Amino acid sequence: MSSLKAVWLWFGIGKSGLNFSGSYLNKMNKLFVKTPEKYWAYLALFVWGGLVFMLLHKASYGVDEGAAQALLLVWSVVDNVASPVVALGFPDFRAIFLAPVGFLWTGNVLAAKIATIIVMAAAAWAFNAWKKSKGDSEGGLLATGLLLISPLVLDQIDTISVAPFLLLTFVLGAWLEKMYGETPLAFGGMYFAQLFLCMVSITLHPIGLAYPLALLWSWYKSSLHERQRSYFIVGITFAVLLTLALTSGWAHVGWFENPVASLSSVLLGATDADEISVLRWVVGVWAVLVLLVVLWKQAGELWADFLGRIFLIALVIGVLTSDAIFAMVALVICLYWGLPLLLYKPESRESGFWGQRGMVLLLILVVSTVFMVVDKGRYQQVMSGDLSPRDSIIRALAEDSGNFLNETPGQDVHDKKTIRVASQWPGLTMLACRCDALPLPPTAKDGEALLAMLRGVNYLIFDPRNPVNSSLSHNLANMGAGKVETAVLQRGGVIVEIKSSLPNKAGE
């Protein structure tokens, strides 16, 4: 009898529990249905931003040289000090994107990285909205999710690279072109906004030329009035030439790099190794093949879509650089125009879910697993404090030499001498060391001429293995004894102390 009561009691509790669970699930289901999708998207992007923040380096090292110069320009305006434009040159238009955080949190590099996270989130949102407007909401959503967790995107955010800003510029330009085509005003705000975006994209990277070129082709083939078309073409041409004159090229862009090594970072993230491993060769070749298949299948679709046309032209221009930005363009093409190839709609429903979506589900599972494994390795690297060879040599100068030459123990702060450094990475050196940093001197005919150029400079920091610095390395090696001394020699570069430029010690 007692056993029957126990069974009955258990059944009653279980039944009420099931009823409770069912009602709870019904309430949650109603909540999901009533809440607009955009708010769930906001929540997902907010959670993604918090997770990405955990994977970033919190120090000033690892920042892109162009981003460092842009931040220094903004901070110099806020603090009303001498602008670095004279010494370092005109920065790219990342300074505009980073200006708000630069004014609010002057000197905080981490705030600039958070701003880059927001820019990347906005770009992903705009990409998904664009694909949804083209009738591909499923493919756009899957592509956006994979893009946000890719190791390449995390690398670009951590270095405050031009990639997130360039992606946002491209997709905003596509939306502006669509809105401009729907407005009757020929010279309204959309017209000048497109000219401004042309200038922004060009300063960021050579791939940024893809946006004005796509605009020129679109308006050249437009059926609008001939005078309006000519005004538009003249305006874009003037904006392009003016921007190229202001920036004087792209000083921080490497040309003709290994495209296979760059495309391997699509899956495995960036690497600082001098030699490419076998795994990276295999992954890079696989990425090249996938990209070629997508281009072969979707070339017409890419060219017909204005945003796709931008990325197709960007891919062609990117072959000349084959850097991380080229890899980012290839990743976007493979995700947003490659996944729809697997999301076909069969004529018969007899195949079921696995027959219709099995291949893409398996692919997403494999790719996302690889992404998460690489992201986990990145998190461990951040926790251990590992830096790239370039950042390690800069840290040696920043932490070992300090901000000042402490020549006398207990010396008063006002009596300390500020050091001046000539660096291959002047913006990043100034950012990390909080000292005066200048670009490396031009090519000198001999050591004496080089020493005359270095008057007032205390240290040189550069990579002697870089072919651009071969003349500098040769002149330093042939200098007489006592004039220069190697202070630090690491894999990432060398720090050379200029003895004749050091200030006199106290009491001498």
Strands 459-462 and 493-498 turn out to be: antiparallel
Q: For residue 54, which of 392, 388, 368, 378 has the smallest C-alpha distance?
A: 378
In whole angstroms, what is the distance from residue 218 CA to residue 203 CA?
22
Q: Are residues 423 and 369 in the same domain?
A: no
Q: Which residue has the tokens 């390449």?
A: 152
Q: Are residues 131 and 280 in the same domain?
A: yes
pLDDT by 10s per residue, the chain, length 508: 444 444 444 444 444 444 545 565 566 666 666 667 777 788 888 999 999 998 888 888 888 888 888 888 888 887 766 566 656 667 788 889 998 998 888 888 999 999 999 999 999 999 999 999 888 888 889 999 999 999 999 999 999 999 999 999 999 999 988 887 776 666 677 788 888 999 999 999 999 999 999 998 988 877 666 667 777 888 889 998 988 887 777 877 888 888 898 999 898 888 776 678 888 899 999 999 999 999 999 999 999 999 999 999 999 999 999 889 999 999 999 999 998 888 766 555 666 656 667 778 888 899 999 999 998 888 888 888 888 888 888 888 887 654 444 444 455 545 556 788 888 888 888 888 887 888 888 887 777 888 888 888 888 999 988 888 888 888 888 877 678 888 888 888 888 888 865 444 444 3
Q: What is the pLDDT of residue 363?
A: 86
Residue 31 lies in a domain: no
Q: Are residues 365 and 294 in the same domain?
A: yes
Q: For residue 196, which of 248, 239, 241 has the smallest C-alpha distance?
A: 239
Q: What DSSP line would sit under 19-54, residue for residue?
A: HHHHHHHHHHHHHHHHS-HHHHHHHHHHHHHHHHHH
In whole angstroms, what is the distance from residue 155 CA to residue 428 CA?
17
Q: Are residues 344 and 416 in the same domain?
A: no
Residue 507 lies in a domain: no
Q: Are residues 439 and 465 in the same domain?
A: yes
Q: What is the pLDDT of residue 185?
A: 66
Q: Which domain holds residue 459?
A: 391-501
Q: Are residues 63 and 149 in the same domain?
A: yes
Q: Measured in Å, how far apart are the chain's first and last C-alpha atoms?
A: 105
Q: Are residues 379 and 454 in the same domain?
A: no
Q: Are residues 331 and 437 in the same domain?
A: no
Residue 417 lies in a domain: yes
Residue 506 lies in a domain: no
SS3 294: helix
In whole angstroms, what is the distance from residue 124 CA to residue 254 CA?
27
Residue 23 lies in a domain: no
Q: Are residues 403 and 345 in the same domain?
A: no
Q: Are residues 491 and 396 in the same domain?
A: yes
Q: What is the pLDDT of residue 503?
A: 46
Q: Are residues 200 and 340 in the same domain?
A: yes
Residue 11 lies in a domain: no
Q: What is the pLDDT of residue 354?
A: 63
Q: What is the pLDDT of residue 247?
A: 77
- pTM value surpassing 0.75: yes
Given 352, 384, 416, which residue is the final one in a domain? 384
In whole angstroms, what is the distance from residue 179 CA to residue 476 CA?
58
Residue 49 lies in a domain: no
Looking at residue 257, its amino acid is: E
Residue 137 lies in a domain: yes
Q: Are residues 305 and 436 in the same domain?
A: no
Contact 176, 341 (CB under 8 A): no
Q: Which residue has the tokens 């690297």?
A: 381
Q: How many domains does the chain fold into?
A: 2
